[in-house]
Structure 1
Amino acid sequence: MNEQLNSKIVHLKTGKKEFQLPYTNRGVGRTLENGLRACVDWVEATFIFVSPTQLISDVLLLNPSNFFPDTGANGYRQCLRNGSIAIFFDGREDMGVHLEMKGRGCREYESYNKRSWKQLFEIMLSNQASFSRLDIAVDDFKGFFTIKGMVRKIKSKELVSKFKKARNVEDIEIKTGEVRGVTLYFGSNKSDIQIRMYDKLSERTDNNYNVPPEITFWNRTEIQSRNKKAQALAVTLANEEDGEITIGKTVCGILRHYLRFTVKGNDSNRRRWKTAPFWEKFLNGVDELPLTTIIEAPTIEEKEEWLSKQVSSTLALVHEAYGGDMKQIERFVKQGIERLKPKDYDMINRFKAQKKTSLVGETKEASNDLLS
């Protein structure tokens, strides 16, 4: 597998206009011409015979000095954290060391370009990792279906499923009554398999993420696997081979097994109704997907958090040693300004633009409150 991280711009045709979607892909020539993308979106695993330092340096290939102490959780008294990558330890003897990488943590790990997911899962399994959760997400930028359309299908009994129930949750803006996002759940959150479908674009924009204006549609289908299912999925990914096995085949198999949207027929047995063309087309696209590595640009807020956790005490030490003279701190800042690159200024400009937009919104809201 080619270990070079190749950045590309993929041109997608939505039927309305062409947009550009930045993405990266390890060792796979296939692009996103069908408007779909698959990625790892959550990893949790426990190690009994690996120390926290070994997990960081030998398994993840990261620098332990970049991890700072944080609050423990879930029975672990201590934690080492680097951004959204967390290592929990110091629990009961049988609890071992626990690795947690949620969605943001997965993107951060990819940005270090240390191991491919295949390589990471291989080394984790060789160290007897016990996976408790592993999520795969499929992003749809083309619009194979809408979440509201899926809800209508379910209410019309046009779904054959292994699940007994589906749950539809709407995020409603109280002030306007506008539905800002819809999430469709199949299976319980604690079951070995849960499938979620939701409007990722609304989620991103509502949480002030910088989404390129060219992206006008973004649905996400997530498969959350736990325990034995997570372990089996990790083994599948570890055994993935270019051109032969793709994550798409696994995801497609899971979706086909649990969900089949249909076209209403006359037969009293709904299982004999034909599969809906949109669902078949979506699954055929998913079936061909390789595992994609996504590099998301860091934010000013993340830089601030790192500065607070990693550098603030050192700055305070220098500040106090020089009798509170800020000139020493200013000298560091000036040196840093000289080293800023175009990508750094891009991050600065995006942050300022977001702050300006937020300030305008807060000012208008305050004015309306005064007049109401």
Structure 2
Amino acid sequence: MNLKLNNEKSPSSNTGIVNTNITMDYLSFTVENTKENVGRIMGAFDIDKLEELSYGGYGYASSAMILDGGKVFWHSERPEMGMHIRLNSKSLALINMTPLGLLNRVIEWGGKFRRMDIAFDDRDGRLDLDKMHEKLSNGEVVTRWRRVARITGKEVGGAEKSGDTVAVGVRASNSYLRMYDKKLERAAKNVDVTDIEHWIRVELELKADKANEFGRILAKRAHVQLKETVGELCANLLWGLLDFKDVNNADDNKTRWDTSDFWAEFLRASSKLKLSTPKEEGTLDDSKDWVWKVVAPTLAMIILSRDDDKGMSGYDFIMECVVKGEERMSRSQQRKLFSYNNDGCAKKIEGILPAQNRD
């Protein structure tokens, strides 16, 4: 990658630390609907059984949940539609494969990529949404996208922003870009952000032919020595779609203007990184903190309430929720519990309940 800078600062010269990530944050693909492929997918994703839902979607008659938020769609009477698999960030965090390993596995299954989201994270303060929105609005960019929108969110009656996004392009097209304040997004979900000073996410959404083409280019990089690294492939893709420029009034051709330093530094830092899948967010202690901050008043209200019409106390109701909740724990929650209990054995619910609540 050879970005032209007005000064040759290294990507980390301002902070001493490169604090940027590239993540494959979403992936969907379609494969033939065969028993062999069903077995391959369940084996590769370590799925014991499909949690079938009562509805389909996207033209498919049937669907099932997989991997804590992912979905698989199929149509028994129209096998030519194949099986469509959609993996969100939570699902990808649970798959024990590298991104390139997953992409190559899909190709081995004869699959086609339908959508791929590549997320670039800036934690160093290189990117500023106000500056990027201003440059886009003033046309100080080189891009094929023709639309830009600033989307901010607030709670009804509230003063503070709960979201801030600069969207570029049209969502229905084969490529679309969102640049947003990840810290605000997490705070709006009651996630503790006290340790986060700055977090801007640049999320590139590829669909249809764009997704399939780039997915195959990345997959090829796993077993063929290409000139570009995976980080360079991702950064160059983004650079080719959007290039922020410094105005040069002496030249009418914007393509010859220098790339803005903040953008060049961000792309150069990104080009040196590997592509990863999302990390499984949160620990059991994080869940405790969330319950303490958000749920504790509701728990107190229930436990302090009188017995209901069936004679069940609020305390007994909470204990029943614990028993039933264990049966419904997601794989992610089970892993957090497993990790928290150092001996690797999940505590039995009977050991948590007081004696009077055990049968």
| TM value normalised by structure 2 | 0.70
Please name the residue that 1:88 is paired with: 73
Distance change in 2, residues 1:358/1:289 (3 Å): farther
Which residue number in structure 1 is paired with residue 356 of structure 2?
A: none
Say if 1:53 and 1:64, in contact at 8 Å, map to a contact too.
no
Given the alignment, which residue of 192, 212, 231 partners 1:231? 212
Is the 1:46–1:97 contact (alpha carbons within 8 Å) kept by the matching residues of 2? Answer: yes
Counterpart check, 1:278 vs 2:259: no
Shift of 1:104: 2.6
Give ranges in structure 1 of 5+ residues lacking alignment: 1-31, 299-342, 361-372
SS in 2 for 1:169: strand
Is 1:64 the counterpart of 2:48? The answer is: yes
Q: What aligned pairs does 1:131-170 form with structure 2 within 5 A after superposition?
A: 131-170=113-152
Partner of residue 180, structure 2: 198
d(CA) in 2 for partners of 1:70, 1:247: 40
Of 276-285 and 67-76, the range deviating more from structure 2: 67-76
8 Å contact 1:165–1:187 — kept in the other structure? yes
**2-structure distance, mates of 1:353, 1:68:** 34
Matches of residues 1-372 of structure 1 in structure 2 within 5 Å?
A: 33-51=17-35, 54=38, 57=41, 60-65=44-49, 67-82=51-66, 83-90=68-75, 92-109=78-95, 114-208=96-190, 210-241=191-222, 245-267=228-250, 269-271=252-254, 272-297=256-281, 344=284, 347-356=287-296
Shift of 1:121: 1.2
The change in CA–CA distance for 1:137 and 1:40 in structure 2 (over 3 A counts) is same
Give the secondary structure class of the aligned counterpart of 1:65: coil
User: Over aligned residues, Cα RMSD in angstroms?
Assistant: 2.9
Between the aligned partners of 2:182 and 2:127, the Cα distance in structure 1 is 13
Give % identity: 23
8 A Cα contact 2:155 2:161, kept in partner:
yes
Flag structure 2 segments of 5+ consecutive residues without an equivalent.
1-15, 301-359
TM-superposed CA distance for 1:354, in Å, is: 3.2
Query: Hey, which of these two has a bigger chunk of strand by percent?
Result: 1
Report the more deviating stretch, 127-136 or 86-95: 86-95
**Number of residue pairs the alignment of both structures matches:** 280
Q: CA deviation at 1:348?
A: 3.1
Q: Aligned pair in 2 of structure 1 residues 285, 357: CA closer, same or farther (>3 Å)?
A: farther
Aligned mates of 2:295, 2:240 — CA distance in 1 = 46
SS of match in other structure, 1:71: coil
CA shift, 1:39, in A, is 0.7
- Closer, same or farther in 2 for the Cα pair 1:53/1:154, shift >3 Å? closer
Cα deviation for residue 268 of structure 1 reads 5.1
